[in-house]
Amino acid sequence: VSATARIDARAFLRVKRDGGRHDPGELEAFVLAAARGEIPDYQTSAWLMAAYLNGLADAERDALTRAVIRSGQVFDWRSLGRPTADKHSTGGVGDKISLALAPLVAACGVAVPMVSGRGLGHTGGTLDKLESIPGFRTQLDAQAMRAQLERIGVVMVGQGPELAPADGLLYALRDATSTVERPWFIVPSIVSKKIAEGAQAIVYDVKCGSGAFMKTEGDAVALARQLVDVTRAMGANAAARVTDMSQPLGVAVGNALEVREACDVLHGGGPADVRALTLELAAAMLVLAGRGEAEARAALERALDSGAAWRRWLELIVAQGGDVDAVERDQLPRAPAVVPVPAPRAGVLAAVDGFALGELIVAIGGGRRAKEDRVDPRVGAMVRRRIGDRVDAGDVLLELHLAAPDPAAVERAAAAFTIADAAVAAPPLVIASVA
Ligand code: URA
């Protein structure tokens, strides 16, 4: 690239810094240049912060989505001979739904070419969870993905050099620069991966509450609407559920702990909310793929009860190089220190600050504070009480799983719980549906 043909990143940055609108072509060119490594991270990060603060109009959001898609290939599975569907969450605390859902849906005859993300901000990521299984590979090339989809109907990978590489870069920079929770970033990040992976039908799980990026129902429904509309405009079918994240989902938070809980669900057990949401979203996928609702629900229950979903999970782990023995014998990495966090007083559990808990998990090593950080798969928490539960002083609210004893972490964990005197209703799991 000649010196004059190169993008003038400083001029581009000034537009957003000053609250202006980008020309869609220039925005695409900037993102594609960044993905090719031609823009240094500090300039891309500065743009992210300017756009975080000053916003992107719908046309800019759509240009960003197209640019991220164009930074790699778009897969096409129409010759597979069976429908394809996928689910993507906007991110939460303890949200391990994808782990059980992907093999479960595949066991019902709909192929799942799932492309997931890593931890983002205070939330966990499916790829980090999968990588707590020793040997599990989350990077497959297009040929390997096709072969695996043909054979077992499910792959679980990350974006990579072939698939939405621009999102790999922007995602890591957003995570490290606190520029995550804006719909004009979330929609392009998610929709680009889903369109590039080639799924024909996509169900979005838009999280809402203290542990989510969208804290209010209004913001979450608006994000769901955008995800569905932009996906349809790009050629795939879509639906969304807005679901509760006013407390962690299930019991386990943290990478290896969440894989264990997903195994429980695939064995027909697991926490009631995790099982219910897995079935809700899996049924929505099957319905978008053409099944009737009742037939879909019955097929899913059968696949769990018969062990077919569990067997598909083990096949997936083997296919992607994971240590299947470690999963079958419950020998995933374990933290050396498990410390109970007691309730300071009696009352009713009124609130759990999911953001604070998620940030605590990042701080104890379960997520990244810089792009290059390594994640400790062992650490996390087992959350033992739910909103609306009565507690006595000294009851265990949660257990922290730590790499080393850490009294400050215990204090931070206790501070995430609010205990009140009056009765508090448990929040509903599914708040709204967007078709
Ligand atoms: N999940 C993604 O893939 N991207 C986001 O921006 C948020 C959640």
- Over its length of 435 residues, how does the chain's per-residue pLDDT go in tens digits? 555 568 999 999 999 999 999 999 999 999 999 999 999 999 999 999 999 999 999 999 999 999 999 999 999 999 999 999 999 999 999 999 999 999 999 999 999 999 999 999 999 999 999 999 999 999 999 999 999 999 999 999 998 899 999 999 999 999 999 999 999 999 999 999 999 999 999 999 999 999 999 999 999 999 999 999 999 999 999 999 999 999 999 999 999 999 999 999 999 999 999 999 999 999 999 999 999 999 999 999 999 999 999 999 999 999 999 999 999 999 999 999 999 999 999 999 999 999 999 999 999 999 999 888 999 999 999 999 999 999 999 999 999 999 999 999 999 999 999 999 998 998 899 999 999
This prediction's pTM: 0.96
Using CB distances shorter than 6 Å, the residues near ligand 1 are 90-91, 117, 120, 185-186, 189-190
- Tell me which of 189, 192, 210, 246 is the catalytic residue: 189
| Residue 259 and residue 96 in contact, taking contact as beta carbons nearer than 8 Å | yes
429: Cβ contacts below 8 Å, ≥ 6 apart: 243, 244, 273, 276, 277, 280
- In 3-94, the DSSP E strands lie at 85-89
3-state SS, residue 338: strand
DSSP string, 183-232: HHHHHHHHHHHHHHHT-SEEEEEEEESTTSSB-SHHHHHHHHHHHHHHHH
Report the C-alpha gap between 225 and 187 in whole angstroms: 10
Q: Is 89 in the active site?
A: no
Q: What angle do CA 322, 91, 250 make, to 5 degrees?
A: 75
The per-residue pLDDT for range 322-335, each reduced to its tens digit, is 999 999 999 999 99
SS3 percent helix, strand, coil of the chain, rounded to 5, is 45, 15, 35
Report the C-alpha gap between 275 and 119 in whole angstroms: 22
Residue whose Cα lies nearest atom 6 of ligand 1: it is 186
Structure tokens at 215: 């804290």
Q: C-alpha distances in angstroms, 369 versus 26, 120, 422?
A: 31, 10, 38
Mutate to test the pocket of ligand 1, among 86, 93, 189 (most ligand atoms within 8 A of CB): 189
